[in-house]
Amino acid sequence: MFRSGSFVIAVAGSALFAIGVRGKDNGLAITPQMGWDNWNALGCDVSEDLLVQTANLIVDYGLRDLGYHYVILDDCWSSGRNASSNNSLIPDTTKFPRGMAAVADDIHALNLGFGMYSDAGRYTCGMYEGSLGHETVDANSFAEWGVDYLKYDNCYNEGYAGNQLISSTRYRTMGDALNATGRPILYSLCNWGEDYPWNWGSTVANSWRISGDIFDDWDAYDARCPCEGPDAWNCELPGFHCSVTNIFNKVAFIVSKAQPGAWNDLDMLEVGNGAMTDPEYVAHFSMWSAVKSPLIMGNDLRDIAPQDLSILSNAAVIAVNQDPLGQSAARRWLCHGNGTNGESGGSGIQLWSGNLKGTVHEDYNDYVVLLVNGNNNATVMNATLEDIFVDSGPRGHAPQVDMSWEVRDLWAGRMSNETAQAIIDASAVASNTTNGYNATTITSGGNATAIFDNRYNATAMSYADGLAANNSILLGSVTTTVQPSGTLTANVDRHGAAMFRLRAIPTAVRKRDEL
């Protein structure tokens, strides 16, 4: 018998079996984590003012109440190590003159969590000090500063990669160090899908990146993100500049690897960064939500357009992501698309569906249905009950096929641009008052208090409790009913998505019961 990190590998005859601890067992990320990270929009342009301003805006815009909890500082925050103090990391005093603990205190005072970044290598990706070989001292620093979340990157790893054992051991070292501090710190691996982290990530961390870095583009080919297309999941070089559909195609093969406390991470959201159309951002947010990816905003909240705030604020879609069952939707079929020059067209049209927690029928859960149109024109898409419920019985024989289903459009109640702009304007007024940021007390172009009264507040009632209570904000708008053996039809925008919650009609009589 020998040890590898926190694992004991036992040898019995010719068999090898691992005895490990499930997940990090830190009680965190029971549903996918939500928050904000500066990297996509701002890169190394970081400061304590940026973090505190953004934290206040998360509160102002009602995003905290929707579940966006973590304010995550990415790379480029340190200025080396202190040789006279156990080689601990030194925050850049120009960017963070009050130190990290003071920033954490400000964020905690808003009932938000503070996240930080490091790297499982000699250097970070921005060439600052990494944590490889310094895991214990760095974990202790993070805990002392009041850190609640660690994003842990993979640059300059000195070759400690190449198979699953090497990579998992390297990442487990920091996970064990974080746990040893006694402070619950959500642990997010950013190793780009190298060495198949979906096979071992649930024993090491709360989430793991499945691909190279996302780029604000729908489906453009980029040689720096290899393994293009709907069948390219076995990718030895994750790369970067990966399109939304490139990443989404890759997760199709590993949706079963996610579970409460441990999630496939498709990378941060690009909603609001300006390079995609509104339908593309709607589809992007829908796709990430359906497969239970962490929802980490990656835009500059100090300069947000109302249509982007309305996407990020859709509680009915977030409720799918935060569903208490914790089951990812799965791809049921894909038809290759009609991409043009410069566009892969590889996303085609896709049907995804999956289980959601249901309360209206004693025997049958709700179901999410996601129709994704990667074609370069609006497309009428059809999904049969047989395809939607294929996992519930042999093809055509799932009992749900013989039932009637209420169809609820999860985007029909999307916040209007006018309402979103009123929220933004209210915050702009509040930021100039001596009372600080409190959009609910400001009237600007309307009554902000009334606006927030009509929005979901997950800090007052969890998504699990809201769904159990059949809160209408979380359920979408009823549009039609699909009859037994029927078909759900939707006209889907170019590079867009339609997203529905199906609810079993309690009075439905199955055909077999009539025989």
Residues serving a catalytic function are: 153, 213
Fold of domain 29-313: TIM Barrel (3.20.20)
Query: In whole angstroms, what is the distance from residue 480 CA to residue 265 CA?
Result: 33
- pLDDT tens digits, 366-382: 999 999 999 999 999 99
Provide the strand spans (E) within 434-495: 477-482, 487-492
* Tens digits of residue pLDDT in 136-146: 999 999 999 99
* First vs last C-alpha separation in the chain: 60
Give the pLDDT of residue 235: 82
pLDDT band at residue 429 under the 50/70/90 scheme = low
- Just give the CATH number of 330-413+461-514: 2.60.40.1180
Q: What angle do CA 136, 90, 175 make, to 5 degrees?
A: 25
Q: What pLDDT is recorded for position 68?
A: 98
Structure confidence at residue 88 (pLDDT) = 97
- The model carries a pTM of 0.90
CATH code 2.60.40.1180 region(s) in the chain = 330-413+461-514
Interacting residues of 472 by C-beta distance below 8 A, sequence separation 6+: none
CATH 3.20.20.70 range(s) for the chain read 29-313
Element containing residue 475 per DSSP (H, E) = none
Single out the residue of 222, 211, 411, 380 nearest to residue 293, CA to CA: 211
pLDDT of residue 431: 53
Is 116 in contact with 100 (CB distance < 8 Å)? yes
HSE of 462 in the Cβ direction (CA atoms, 13 Å)?
A: 8
200-236 tens-digit pLDDT: 999 999 999 999 999 999 999 999 998 887 777 788 8
Q: Return the pLDDT at 511.
A: 43
Least confident of 6-15, 117-126, 235-244, 321-330: 6-15
Judged by DSSP in three states, 472 sits in helix
User: pLDDT digits over 58-73, tens only?
Assistant: 999 999 999 999 999 9
pLDDT of residue 428: 73
| Residue 382: C-alpha distances to residues 153, 388, 477 (Å) | 41, 10, 19
Strands (E) located in 24-125: 34-37, 70-72, 78-82, 88-91, 113-119
Q: Among candidates 116, 180, 184, which has minimal Cα distance to 152?
A: 116
Residues 6+ apart with CB under 8 A from 236: none
Chain centroid offset of residue 248 CA? 12
Q: Looking at residue 262, what DSSP letter applies?
A: B
Tell which wins on pLDDT, 202 or 358: 202
With a cut of 50, say whether residue 441 has pLDDT above it: no
Structure tokens at 115: 């996240």
pLDDT at position 509 is 45
3-state secondary structure of 418: helix
- Assess whether pLDDT exceeds 50 at residue 14: no
pLDDT in tens, 461-513: 999 999 999 999 999 999 999 999 999 999 999 999 999 999 999 864 444 44
- DSSP-derived secondary structure for 163-204: SHHHHHHHHHHHHHHHHHTSS--EEEE-STTTT-HHHHGGGT
Q: For the CA atoms of the chain, what is the radius of gyration?
A: 23
Q: For position 396, what pLDDT does the model report? A: 77
81-122: per-residue pLDDT in tens? 999 989 999 999 999 999 999 999 999 999 999 999 999 999
In the prediction, which pLDDT does 443 show? 33
